[in-house]
Chain A
Amino acid sequence: MAQLELFLQTLISGFLLGGLYALIALGMALIMGVMRVINLAHGDFMMIAMYIAYWMFTMFGIDPYLSVFIAAPAMFLFGLGIQKYLLTPVMKVESILPHNQVILTVGLAMVFSNLATVFFTGNYRSTPVSYASSAWYLTDYWRNSPIELSLSMPWTISFILAAIITIGLWIFLTKTDTGKSIRATSQDLDAALLMGVNVNRVRMVTFGIGLILVACAGCLFLPIYYLYPALGKQFTNVGFVIAVIGGMGSTDGALIGGLILGIFESMTATYIGMGWAPAGRFAIFVAALVFLPGGVASILRKWRLGK
């Protein structure tokens, strides 16, 4: 019974982690789909958003969850600026090497993480919110339950908020004009151009939205995680591993891929060892490349066409 309990506990925490991972990967997948760029500074943008939320908490006592409303618009504007002054000019540059913009984002990542180290020192920080250590217990609600499960309070709140944000994104992408043009550009750039979509504007908005999502993820991660300048690299890895599992540029795939990776990582940490969790991430990445290069999105597509 203890084995089962451990398994279920790992599964649930993996699911909660996966929901947050999906939020990171959604932004990356949107950017990848519309701009054909892998944003390797994604995790570092998240780190910046986390520092915004952190300073809001320490200086003004604003709850990290409320900082979403500060960090997200700030990152949106920041993203518009970066897209306008860095990524768009580079797109026009003629060069031998492909992936010029990807290398540019690597440069950005280096600058951000180093500047954060210089200004905020390399110390590990966290926000001591009042509810940080409270938890739900299954026995509180179901007295005769044969197994005991617990859920950390901040994890649950973060997961629920992540789900709300994801639903908001889905409504935005399917119901609004801007959302529809983003999807059109992602599906077929030339056709979208012919239909009169202002592709340059769509690219800017997409980059901004990608950064909004990652800023939200940062604010949601802050109460349950700690913060240090080199954190970005790890979450960039998470983002692109999910993007490959899900299928490059597919938002549905990113959602499912995020959950898969979260559960898988949680399982590796429980059954093999904490230090090996990044290696587990790599293993699932390789497995996806070998057996399912099109990602979850290719299965979804086949299933839809089959009907």
Chain B
Amino acid sequence: MKKFLPLIILAILCIIPFAGLSTYVMHILILVLMWSVIGMAWNILGGYTGQVSFGHAAFFGFGAYTAGILYQHLGISAWWGMPVCVVILTALSLVIGYICLRLRGAYFALATLALGEFCRVAAENLVDFTKGNMGIMLRERTWVDKTWYFYVILLIAAGTYILIKLVMESKLGYYFVAIREDQDAAESLGIDTTFYKTISLCLSGVLTGIAGAFYMNYMGYIDPSMVFPLSEVSIATVMVVMVGGAATYWGPIVGSVIMVFLAEEIRSLPYIGAAHQTIFGIILILIIMFLPNGIVGDFRKLLKPFRRKGASS
């Protein structure tokens, strides 16, 4: 049963559009799938390799802007952004990897944090190239109906899941985990830690960028404060993984389901809606203190109180 669970969920997701759901529900489902792609991508780097990034908005925004700029300046379909951003984000990841992955400690976390902010400032100031705060708008959307967007992101999400599963069950995945657990021990076993950390960053960055390119196509409009913000994208990514569970296959997916629904619910509440960041911050703090491995990682711990009750009664 457990072995077929991914297939069952995939099958259900494939037929869901035929259930005649409203546009709003489809929008939420698309967002859930997109966030789980970003979360899974972050998880490769943060969860498995142990390099916490606070700047995935940079990769996300780079992907989105690649698609947008291709459309804006070359006049070709924004869908080309997906293949093109693979090249661009690999290059970006290599540069970042060269600069800060050879150092130990918190340098990487700080560098990514600064990178996200830098990208936002650059996108705001390079008005000729990115149109600054006016943003880029697609004049015609590919499909009006959301069903096709849903299938595209479902394909990406399924592909990401399979890719991560393949990577993590190969030698590469064991290298990643070895680096996370003990970098000195990994190095003494002959693992080129800088090289494998960079590979992990490339994988993570490219997958996030593809999600960003999809976002451009789906939303049809981006501006710097939509795709490069710190708390709405970078920290939200960390939260999706933390809530679900770092270094688990299902963690980011569970996390994105919870976080997207919570975000939609909280934002729509009167009065409290303005304080949604406070609520997310408190959730983040509580998760770190009491469920450090997330819902999936600490599933047993979550079940404990219920079990004891069952045993006593």
Residues of B within 8 A of A107 (CB): 281-282, 284-285, 288
CB within 8 Å for A289 and B111 given contacts A96-B47, A98-B52, A111-B282: yes
Which of A40, A113, A273 has a CB less than 8 Å from the CB of B113? A40
B17 on the A face (CB < 8 A):
no
Most chain A CB within 10 A, of B115, B274, B277, is at: B277
- Do residues B107 and A293 form an inter-chain contact, with CB atoms below 8 A? yes
- Do residues A100 and B288 form an inter-chain contact, with CB atoms below 8 A? yes
CA distance A86 to B286 in the complex (A): 10
Which of A86, A109, A114 has a CB less than 8 Å from the CB of B275? A114
Give the contacts of A281-295 with B (CB-CB under 8 A): 281-282, 285-286, 289-290, 293
Report the minimum CB–CB distance from A238 to chain B (whole Å).
11
- Do residues A106 and B284 form an inter-chain contact, with CB atoms below 8 A? yes
- Do residues B114 and A118 form an inter-chain contact, with CB atoms below 8 A? no
Which of A90, A97, A241 has a CB less than 8 Å from the CB of B246? A97
Identify the stretch in B97-105, B212-220, B305-313 within 8 Å (CB) of chain A at 4 or more residues.
B97-105
CB within 8 Å for A106 and B110 given contacts A96-B293, A111-B278, A115-B278: no
Chain B residue with minimal CB distance to A117?
B274
Report the minimum CB–CB distance from A129 to chain B (whole Å).
31
- Do residues B111 and A95 form an inter-chain contact, with CB atoms below 8 A? no
A104 on the B face (CB < 8 A):
yes
- Do residues A97 and B52 form an inter-chain contact, with CB atoms below 8 A? yes
CA distance A95 to B52 in the complex (A): 13
- Mostly, the B contact residues are helix
CA distance A293 to B281 in the complex (A): 32
CA distance A279 to B278 in the complex (A): 28
- Encode B107-120 as 1/0 by CB contact (under 8 A) with A: 10111011101100
Report the minimum CB–CB distance from B297 to chain A (whole Å).
7
CA distance A140 to B30 in the complex (A): 68
Residues of B within 8 A of A244 (CB): 107, 110
- Do residues B52 and A103 form an inter-chain contact, with CB atoms below 8 A? yes
- Encode B189-227 as 1/0 by CB contact (under 8 A) with A: 000000000000000000000000000000000000000
Which of A118, A276, A285, A286 has a CB less than 8 Å from the CB of B274? A118
Residues of A within 8 A of B121 (CB): 275-276, 278-279, 282
Which of B109, B111, B114, B125 has a CB less than 8 Å from the CB of A102? B109
Give the contacts of A233-258 with B (CB-CB under 8 A): 233, 237, 240-241, 244, 248
CA distance A159 to B278 in the complex (A): 34
Most chain A CB within 10 A, of B105, B111, B285, is at: B285
- Do residues A106 and B111 form an inter-chain contact, with CB atoms below 8 A? no
Which of B109, B117, B242, B293 has a CB less than 8 Å from the CB of A237? B117
CA distance A96 to B291 in the complex (A): 11
Which of B50, B111, B113 has a CB less than 8 Å from the CB of A98? B50
- Encode A69-112 as 1/0 by CB contact (under 8 A) with B: 00000000000000000100110011111111011101111110
Residues of A within 8 A of B235 (CB): 106, 110
CA distance A110 to B293 in the complex (A): 21
CA distance A99 to B246 in the complex (A): 13
CA distance A233 to B116 in the complex (A): 12
Report the minimum CB–CB distance from B138 to chain A (whole Å).
27
- Do residues B277 and A111 form an inter-chain contact, with CB atoms below 8 A? yes
CA distance A111 to B278 in the complex (A): 4
Report the minimum CB–CB distance from B84 to chain A (whole Å).
24
Residues of A within 8 A of B238 (CB): 103, 106
A38 on the B face (CB < 8 A):
yes
CA distance A96 to B100 in the complex (A): 21
- Do residues A282 and B284 form an inter-chain contact, with CB atoms below 8 A? no
- Do residues B230 and A115 form an inter-chain contact, with CB atoms below 8 A? no
- Encode A157-172 as 1/0 by CB contact (under 8 A) with B: 0000000000000000
- Encode B20-33 as 1/0 by CB contact (under 8 A) with A: 00000000000000
| Given A96-B246, A110-B281, A240-B113, 4 extra CB contacts under 8 A | A93-B292, A99-B52, A106-B235, A107-B281
Q: Can you list 18 A-B contacts (CB < 8 A)? A: A38-B109, A94-B292, A96-B292, A97-B50, A97-B246, A99-B106, A102-B109, A103-B52, A104-B288, A114-B281, A244-B110, A248-B106, A273-B125, A275-B124, A276-B125, A282-B117, A285-B114, A289-B103
Sorted from nearest, which 8 A-B pairs have the closest CB atoms?
A95-B292, A110-B281, A114-B277, A111-B281, A107-B284, A282-B118, A107-B285, A114-B278
